[in-house]
Structures are given as C-alpha cells and as structure tokens.
Structure 1
Amino acid sequence: MRSIWKGTVSFGLITIPVRLFGATERRDVAFHLVHGEDAGRIRFRRVCQVCEEEVPFADVAKGYELPSGDMVVLADDDFEDLPLSSSRRIEVLQFTPADQIDPIMLDKAYYLEPDDAGVRPYVLLRDTLERSGLVAVVKVALRQRESLAALRVRDGVLLLETMLWPDEVRVADFAFLEEGVDVRPQEARMAESLIETMVADFNPSIYKDAYREALQEVIEAKIEGREVVPAEVPVDEGPPADLMAALRASVEAAKKGSGRRTPARDEEPAEPVSDQGAGEKTVSRGRKSRRPA
C-alpha cells in the first residue's frame, strides 16, 4: 500500500507521528469510452462555453455559481489563508461510545501506521481504546477539506473513519410517514418468525459480486475468441522533411569541401602518403611497404 498522507495524532500532550493508507478499494471492472467502429479512445477537451476555445489546465479556475447564474471565480491564492488549523494533525476532541455514532455519517476508512518514533504511544492509545470500548472523535483535514472522524481499533491497527457533517445527512421526509398504517398482530408475529429463521452470524466472505464475475467472464470469452482490437502502434515517420533536407545539404557541402568521399561508418580513414621518399608510402594501421627495385 502507498501512503497518501503524513501527519500526527494529537492526544493531550502526546503526539504520535503516523502515515495514512486507504483501508478499502473498489473492485469495479474499469472501462474506457471508445468509438464502437474502431475502438479508438474518446477524448474530452476543456472548452470554454463563452469563447469556445480549448482551455489549458493551467488556466482552469474554480467557479461558485450564484442562484442568479452569475459566477464567482476563485484562484489558488484565495484558498491559502483559509483556516485549516488541523491540516497536518489528527486532533482528538473527545471519546464516546461507538453506538452513539450513526453509521450513516461514516464516509471513508483509512489505516494509520506509526513512524518508528511513534510506535510506543501508538500502541498505548490503541490498547487504551480497546479496553475502554470507546472511539475517539477527531478532526482532520484531507485534500483541503476538514472533516470529523472516528478513530477506533481494527485487527490491531488504528482505523480512521471520516464522517459527514450533520448538515450533509439528508432528512428522510416521505409522505408515507404521515399515513396511519395499522399492522395486524398475526402479521407482526409471522414477520418476526420469518426473521428468526434467517438469523445467522455475519460472514462477508460467503458473499460475492456475481455481476462483476459474470462481466469478467464475458470479457475473457471475447479475449479467447480473439474479439480484440489491436492497439495502434505509432508510426515512426523519422525527422521532419525540412530537417532531412538540411542534413543532406550539410553532407553534400562537407563532401565538396573535403574534396574526397566521406568514409563509410565501418571503414578506417587512410593515413596520408609520406613525402619522405618516392619509394615509400604509409598505409593503414601504420605499416610500411617498399616497392621492389
């Protein structure tokens, strides 16, 4: 696993350096959007609705839309002075019984691993939480967003579960709640009897994602049937034509300037003829030969 965050757990006067790791992962079958005729990838471009020009990512800003449709544009420096006091700290606010935290408020889960210097206080906090049966309510900032979170123990590791803020949980406001529905006693007894016959300890390993497995089988069948569109290999067209022309012109100019041919790559250039005697000449590799008298 790869660490996604590094900071400290602040517990009274105790500071525990930790690293954060994602505790869960999605196992969906991933797809790309492609052209059905030739399997080419579909690309999406950032086009401005006003000037209809493609916008580079460096010029993209965040905009907050008003009810009137007007836009408030925020740049990166507008976010720099915002109060994220716990940006590198998991601050313990209180301890509370776990059953007082409504599961609907739980969002994402992360494992906390201590640095070498923090193992002892980490184990102290972990063991204390386990013995008490409580969870720590903390505040943490991840990806420029501050959240409440619950800190509890799972399999000997501290688990951080971020929570939604109370105003992010929708109220269940449905019309049938106002209707007076009478349930007969015999119906209630029968429902209770049915539930009792289905009571069992929860073992998640006996369940599986049948849809994902069936979809993977469809993909494997297409692979075996060679219903696969080969990936396009980029064609190496070499240097641009104008560059090739410039190179050829340079070679020709070099030949004319030297007055002799250019030696091949594997050919050693001949050494110049010696002017110290008409009967001697120097050949390659420094060896001399003498003409017969």
Structure 2
Amino acid sequence: MHTIWKGAISFGLVNIPVKMYAATEDKDISMRMLHRDCGTPISYSRRCPNCEMPVENEAIVKGFEYEKGRFVRFEKDELDALAADASREIKILDFVDLEEIDPIYFQKTYYLGPGDTGANAYGLLQQALKDTGKIGIARVTIRNKSSLAAIRIVGNCISMETIFYPDEIRPAAQVPNLQTTMNVSDKELTMAKMLIEQLSVPFEPEKYHDEYREQVMELIEKKIAGEEIEIAPEPRRTNVIDLMAALQASLEAAKDKSPDVAAATDRGAAGAGAPGAGAGAGAAKPKRTRRKAAGAEDDAKDGAGKEPARRR
C-alpha cells in the first residue's frame, strides 16, 4: 500500500507515530471524452474569459465570493499556514460507543499502520480499544480540510473514519412531503413485517457485486473483440397500485425461492387474514434481442450519460 500521510495519534500524554493508507478504492470505470468525428481525446484548458488567454497554475489564486462578483483572495501559503500546526496530529478528544454514531456521519475509511517507531504504543492502543469496545473521536486535518474522525479497530489494524461535523448534516425535516403521522392499516403492517422477516439474512458483503460495472466491462470486452452484442430489453413491470397486492406478490416471490420461507409465509398469512396471491409473481422471462456491434456502438454514443439496459 502507498503511504498517503504520516503523523501521530495522541490521547492524553501518549503519542503514537502512524502511517496512513487508503482502506478503500474507487472501482468506477473511467472513460475519456472523444471527438465523435476522429476519435481524438478532448483536452480541457484553464482559460480566463476576460483576458481571453490560457492561465498557468502559477497564476491562479483561490477566492471566496462573499457577494455576487466580489471576491476575497487567498494565496496558497496563507491557507497552508492555518493548518500547519495540526496537519500531523490525530488528536483523540473523547471515547464513545460505536452504536452511538449514526452511519450518516461516516465519510471515508483509512488504515493507520505503525510508524517507524512506537510499535509498542500502537499495540497498547489497539488492545485497549479491543478490550473496552470503545472508539475514539478525534480531530484531524488532511489536505487542508479539518474533520472529525472515529478511531476504531478493523481486523488487527487501527483505522480512522472521517466523519461530518454536525452542522454539515442536513436535517431530515427539510425533505419535502414528509408525513408527521402515518395512516397504516394493521393488515398492511403485518404483511410488511412478514416480508422483512422473510428477506432478513446475515450480512455477507462478498455476495454483493456492482452489476452495472460488470455489465459495462463485458460490453467493453465485446466491443474490443468486435463481437455481436446482446441487449436485454427493459424488464416488464406491473403497475400495482394496491399496497396489499404488492406486499402479497412480494411474499409469493419469496416463497418461490425457499420452501422454508413458503411454510412460514403461509402460516403468517393465515394469521393475518391476508388476501390471495397477487398477480405477476411468475412473469415469463423476456427473450433477448441481438444487435450487431456497430449498431450497438451507435446506440451507446447516442445515449451517452444514460444507464444501459441491464441484463436480467
């Protein structure tokens, strides 16, 4: 792993040298913008519309627009000086229980490995966090951005997860059309709880895949090979307006997947007085259509930025 930051964790009078590594990686498929006529990648330059000339990095300063068209300027050294003192320290302020932090606060995860010295202190904090079940709430500055952070154990490694400040979280009450009171029937609620129970499983992250990325990569490989491309039609959707019918159809679909689910659902449905099976649970799988690679490529260009049809 590539070291992206060096500093120290501090709590009380304890100082632990650490190196920071990215714990996650972006697997998005990167694409270039091309000129349709000749296929040449499009280049972008920083240009001043007033002076009508390109601007080099050395001639660029940052500015804050405090009124329309009016800015205060900042040289790079001015901003760097503000974070200079705190840029190499992860200062733990408090220790809390992980369950107390809502997931909405979490941003990005980093691994913190032992520094060139202080391995014993690193091991001490690691074991203390494990034994107490606590996590540390710290303040850290990375790339001139101050953040709160949660210090916890992942595997046998101390990790740091940057978290938002409270004033960066928008109140859910600002969401339009939220209902303050819910008018839910007992039958609908019973059916919904049954469906949740039938679909509840232990969390196994390895079984989830980025299906869109896999389909794009498959399409890329076929285009490179010049093969014909199969495009699956949009799935047939049933416009179910009745909520009870939708819940019943979902339970019927869950029953088809597992005999155990079927037995449990039948028992629960009888107790809830549920209606008969909803329609559309066993819709036939649509046939695939074949297009030649050249035609599919034109479609892909015309629909740039749109999500391609997914395979069922």
Q: What does residue 174 of structure 1 align with?
A: 175
* TM-aligned CA distance change 1:174 to 1:79, over 3 Å: closer
Q: Aligned pair in 2 of structure 1 residues 54, 175: CA closer, same or farther (>3 Å)? A: closer
| AA in 2 matched with 1:20 | M
In structure 2, distance between residues paired with 1:80 and 1:108: 22
What amino acid does structure 2 have at the position aligned with 1:184? Answer: S
Q: In 1, distance between residues paired with 2:101 and 2:85? A: 24
Aligned residue in 2 for 1:192: 193
Change (3 A) 1:85 1:43: same
Instruction: Give distance in 2, aligned partners of 1:94 and 1:174.
Output: 32
What per-residue deviation string (whole Å, max 9, x for no partner) do you get for residues 151-203 of structure 1? 00001000100011111111121343345431111111111111111111010
8 Å contact from structure 1 (residues 10, 91) kept in 2: yes
Report the Cα distance in structure 2 between the residues aligned to 1:64 and 1:116, rounded to whole angstroms. Answer: 40
Give the share of equivalent positions with the same residue, in percent: 38
In 2: Cα distance, 1:18 partner to 1:93 partner: 18
Q: Tell me which amino acid in the other structure corresponds to 1:30.
A: S
Match of 1:153 in 2: 153
- Which runs of structure 1 show a deviation greater than 6 angstroms over 4 or more consecutive aligned residues? none
Aligned length: 228
Structure-1 residue corresponding to 2:76: 76
Q: Name structure 1 gaps, 5 residues minimum.
A: 228-293
Letter matched to residue 142 of structure 1: I
Task: Please list the CA deviations of residues 203-230 of structure 1 after superposition, one character each: whole Å capped at 9, or x if unmatched.
Answer: 0111111111111111111211299xxx
User: 2:83 touches 2:144 (CA, 8 Å); kept in 1?
Assistant: no
TM-score by length of 1: 0.74
2:218 matched residue in structure 1: 217
Q: Going by fraction, where is helix more abundant, 1 or 2?
A: 2
Query: What TM-score do the two structures reach when normalised by structure 2?
Result: 0.70
The whole-number CA distance in structure 2 between the counterparts of 1:212 and 1:80 is 38
For the residues of structure 2 that align with 1:178 and 1:202, how far apart are their CA atoms? 31
| CA distances 1:237-293 after superposition (whole Å, capped 9, x unpaired) | xxxxxxxxxxxxxxxxxxxxxxxxxxxxxxxxxxxxxxxxxxxxxxxxxxxxxxxxx
Distance 2:176 2:182 in 1: 12
Distance 2:107 2:176 in 1: 28
Aligned counterparts of 1:194 and 1:178: Cα–Cα separation in 2: 23
Aligned to 2:143: 143
Quote how far apart the aligned CAs of 1:95 are.
0.3
1:59 paired to 2:49:
no
1:195 and 1:182 map into 2 onto residues whose CA distance is 19
CA contact (8 A) 1:7 1:19 kept: yes
Q: Does the Cα contact within 8 Å between 1:84 and 1:146 map onto a contact in 2?
A: no
Q: In angstroms, what is the RMSD of aligned CA positions?
A: 1.8
State the partner residue of 1:34: 34
Segments of structure 2 that go 5 or more residues without pairing to the other structure are 228-292, 294-312
Q: Which structure has the larger Rg over C-alpha atoms?
A: 1
Q: Distance in 2 between matches of 1:107 and 1:11?
A: 22
- Measure how far apart 1:84 and its partner are: 5.1
What is the one-letter code of the residue matched to 2:43?
Answer: R
Name the residue aligned to 1:114: 114
User: Would the aligned equivalents of 2:80 and 2:144 in 1 still touch at CA under 8 Å?
Assistant: no
Output the CA distance in 1 between the equivalents of 2:206 and 2:114: 29
Secondary structure of the corresponding residue to residue 183 of structure 1: coil
Mapped to 2, the partners of 1:145 and 1:125 lie a distance apart of 25
